[in-house]
Amino acid sequence: MTAAVLEVENLRMEFRAPRNAGGRRVQAVRDVSLEVQEGEILGLVGETGSGKTTVGKCVVRLLRPTAGSIRFMGEDITAMPSSQLRPLRSRIQMVFQDPYSSLDPRMTVSQIVAEPLRAHGTHSRREAAGLVRRTVERVGLSQQVLDRYPNELSGGQRQRVGLARALVLEPRLLIADEPVSALDVSVRAGILNLLVDLQRTMGFSCLFITHDLSVAEFLCDRVAVMYLGEIVEVGTRDEVFGAARHPYTRSLLGAAPLADPVEQRSRQRAILPGEPPSAIDPPPGCSLNPRCPLADRRCTEEAPGPTQVSEGGHVVRCHRVQEQLDLEVARS
């Protein structure tokens, strides 16, 4: 058993809506538990508002969770004071979605990439300069960009700068929040290939947040699917993409159009009706029940607990799947 780099347990994050919006509590994340193992890429997949970005922000402590615990390399960082957190911060880094707004337009590329080194004050100026050059090269940029400003770079180049900034401290854990969503297909391919290569050579673990299923399938070792602040299914890439059990995962997989007209036009379409309910009033019972084709009375009353589908850690939260599994066990 490999060690977990990140363990999130029963994470809960509530926001208070502004007073003019009723001042009620928005339950962005409700009871999320997950683990990222050493050297693994875990995909956190979900639609807008499912809470996936909030989980990422809690992990890097940009947000202080309402409840639950976050352990990094065995140490509880949930409520750790900043002074103690500081050395750990260098080991957890984040890459953001928008390469346009996440880089300071008044800094040159070398200043941007050097900033984490400066903030942690662990390197001499000369060491830092060398490290910056090596990292910039590592992410596939030429040395010529070092003195340029972000506005002189393309979207793909900027995202490489964002990656260099995150990786210059050689973190153990990278939180990547939709890093390729703003990029065009031809540019995206380069960043995805680069991420695969960097992960293999540097060996960091990664929590990869995305709404794009094909990107998750390409990149991730394991995948967790979120809906309305909860993880409804988690498993290896093969389990989630090849043998999904949760009705939400299945409909997500069925909804994403395939870039092949023969396959796309011959597939069964099971379209999930309606829209995700508000995170202010999540429905009682299973959060999918108002939209779920399989929902029965129990689903509207009782929240489903985790059901183990396979020994490897394929877990689903669904009453109906649990019933099916019980039936399968009884038959055999």
Partner 1 sequence: MAELLSVQDLQVRLFDRLGVVVAVRDVSLSVEEGEVVALVGESGCGKSVTALALLRLLPPDAQISGRVTFQGRDLLQLPLKELRAIRGRDIAMVFQEPMTSLNPSFTIGNQIGEVLRLHKGLRGQQARERASELLSLVRIGSPEQRLRAYPHQLSGGMRQRAMIAMALACDPKLLILDEPTTALDVTTQAQILDIVRDLRQRLGMSILLITHDLGVVADLADRVAVMYAGSKVEDAEVHRLFAAPRHPYTAGLLRALPRRGRRAGDAQERLLEIPGLVPVLRDLPDACAFAPRCPRSQDDCSNQHPGLAPCEADHRVACLHPEPIVAGAHP
Closest approach of partner 1 to the CB of residue 119, in Å: 32
| Residues at the site binding partner 1, with contacts judged by CB under 8 A | 47-48, 154, 156, 184-186, 188-190, 192-193, 196, 211-215, 217-219, 221, 237, 241, 251-265, 269, 271-273, 275
Nearer to partner 1 by C-beta: 132 or 216?
216
Closest approach of partner 1 to the CB of residue 83, in Å: 39
Residues 70, 34: Cα–Cα separation, whole Å: 10
Nearer to partner 1 by C-beta: 3 or 256?
256
Q: What are phi and psi of 140, to 5 degrees?
A: 85, 25
Nearer to partner 1 by C-beta: 260 or 328?
260
Adjacent-strand bridge partners of 316: 233, 307
Closest approach of partner 1 to the CB of residue 135, in Å: 20
Pair 319, 232: CB distance under 8 Å:
no
Nearer to partner 1 by C-beta: 119 or 255?
255
Nearer to partner 1 by C-beta: 213 or 234?
213
Residues near 2 by beta carbon (within 8 Å), at least 6 away in sequence: 37, 38, 39, 40
Closest approach of partner 1 to the CB of residue 260, in Å: 6
Nearer to partner 1 by C-beta: 124 or 266?
266
Closest approach of partner 1 to the CB of residue 294, in Å: 16
Burial class (CB in 10 A: 0-12, 13-18, 19+), 117: buried
Residues 188, 9: Cα–Cα separation, whole Å: 33
Closest approach of partner 1 to the CB of residue 261, in Å: 4
Residues 41, 205: Cα–Cα separation, whole Å: 6
Nearer to partner 1 by C-beta: 75 or 137?
137
Residues 40, 237: Cα–Cα separation, whole Å: 12
Nearer to partner 1 by C-beta: 257 or 313?
257
Residues 68, 9: Cα–Cα separation, whole Å: 6
3-state secondary structure of 293: coil
Nearer to partner 1 by C-beta: 53 or 322?
53
Pair 244, 317: CB distance under 8 Å:
no
Closest approach of partner 1 to the CB of residue 88, in Å: 29
Residues 99, 106: Cα–Cα separation, whole Å: 14
Q: 């999904």: which residue's tokens?
A: 244
Residues 165, 30: Cα–Cα separation, whole Å: 31
Closest approach of partner 1 to the CB of residue 63, in Å: 23
Closest approach of partner 1 to the CB of residue 34, in Å: 20
AA identity, residue 59: V
| Count of C-beta atoms within a 10 Å radius of residue 184 | 11
Residues 215, 105: Cα–Cα separation, whole Å: 29
